[in-house]
Amino acid sequence: MLADAVVVVHFAFVLFIVLGLALIWVGAARAWAWIRDLRFRIVHFAAIVFVAGEALAGIACPLTVWEDALRAGGAGESFIGRWTRRLLYYDFPEWMFTAAYVVFALIVLATFVAVPPRRAAGRRRD
């Protein structure tokens, strides 16, 4: 059960990165103010830089390691856990994932420049 919870958190992290970028683009086109929130944008950028950095360093994702350790202990898999794993994990060479993460990080960086974040009006320091 705990392994399933870890894979769901892992999937939510991936969704935050992928959907976050899509929402930034849509929000820029629709003039949504929240997509320019500096804190959101920094956390979003840091998340993909962390993933790309892990991949470049050859470090396995801590959530994957934790889930694998829990499953090795005989943890079963629920319906939600099974389908989340199918959506999250693919059987491709490791270099393809590393390249994809780095390219995605560069796209997020370019988006950071093309759709710059702003500080909230009430949080300005004089």
The tens-digit pLDDT sequence of the chain (126 residues) is 787 888 889 999 999 999 999 999 999 999 999 999 999 999 999 999 999 999 999 999 898 888 888 877 665 666 566 667 777 777 888 899 999 999 999 999 999 999 999 986 555 554
Domain annotation covers residue 116 = yes
- Is 99 within 8 Å of 45 (Cβ atoms)? no
Domain annotation covers residue 126 = no
Q: Report DSSP letters for 30-76, one per residue.
A: HT-GGGGBHHHHHHHHHHHHHHHHHHHHTPPPHHHHHHHHHHHTT--
Q: If you search the block for the tokens 């994932």, which residue do you land on? A: 97
Domain annotation covers residue 58 = yes
Which residue from 80, 88, 79 is spatially nearest to 17, judged by alpha carbons?
88
Domain annotation covers residue 39 = yes
Domain ranges, residue 91:
2-120
Domain annotation covers residue 85 = yes
The tally of domains found in the chain comes to 1
Domain annotation covers residue 125 = no
Contacts of 39 (CB under 8 A, 6+ apart): none
